[in-house]
């Protein structure tokens, strides 16, 4: 089960994201982590009832726009954080910390977060 989320962790992440979506209309959020973790959370989120979802995009990076115009981005960190460039979020940033995350990735993550944005880090084992 290395690199995967357990059921309680996945449920906690989904409920945290849904709370943030309901709090802020038109906000933006980002979830950064390994591709396997991102796909698990994305598949749990896209199974919500259709009345909550406005647009769901799978390629090239997963993206969900909710009916209150909240945009949620899912990104893998890559080797140097290139996938995080060009994204600016104003509501929350959630990153799954692994022992091998480089300083470049963390710098790109913090650069994508606007001032006043809530940052949440979740440690997962290698």
- Note the pLDDT of residue 41: 87
Domains, in order of start, for the chain: 7-123 (3.40.50.300)
- Mean pLDDT, the chain, rounded, equals 85
Name residue 72's beta-bridge partners: 29, 64
Please check whether residue 86 is in contact with residue 53, taking contact to mean a CB–CB distance below 8 angstroms: no
Q: What is the pLDDT of residues 31-83, one digit of tens each?
A: 998 888 888 888 888 888 877 889 888 888 889 999 999 999 998 888 777 88
Higher pLDDT, 1 or 61: 61
- Note the pLDDT of residue 115: 92
Give mean pLDDT, residues 2-28: 79
Checking if the pLDDT of 1 tops 50, the result is: no
- Note the pLDDT of residue 76: 87
Determine the Cα–Cα distance for residues 85 and 109; give it in Å rounded to an integer: 8
């Amino acid at each position: 089960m290395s690199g995967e989320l357990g059921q309680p962790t996945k449920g906690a992440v989904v409920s945290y994201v849904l709370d943030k979506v309901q709090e802020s209309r038109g906000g933006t959020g980002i979830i950064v982590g390994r591709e396997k973790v991102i796909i698990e959370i994305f598949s749990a989120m896209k199974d919500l009832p259709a009345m909550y979802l406005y647009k769901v995009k799978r390629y090239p990076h997963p993206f969900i726009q909710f009916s209150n115009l909240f945009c949620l981005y899912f990104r893998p960190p890559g080797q140097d954080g290139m996938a995080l460039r060009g994204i600016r979020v104003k509501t929350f940033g959630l990153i799954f910390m692994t022992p091998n995350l480089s300083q470049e990735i963390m710098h790109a993550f913090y650069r994508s977060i606007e001032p006043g944005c809530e940052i949440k880090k979740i440690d997962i084992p290698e």
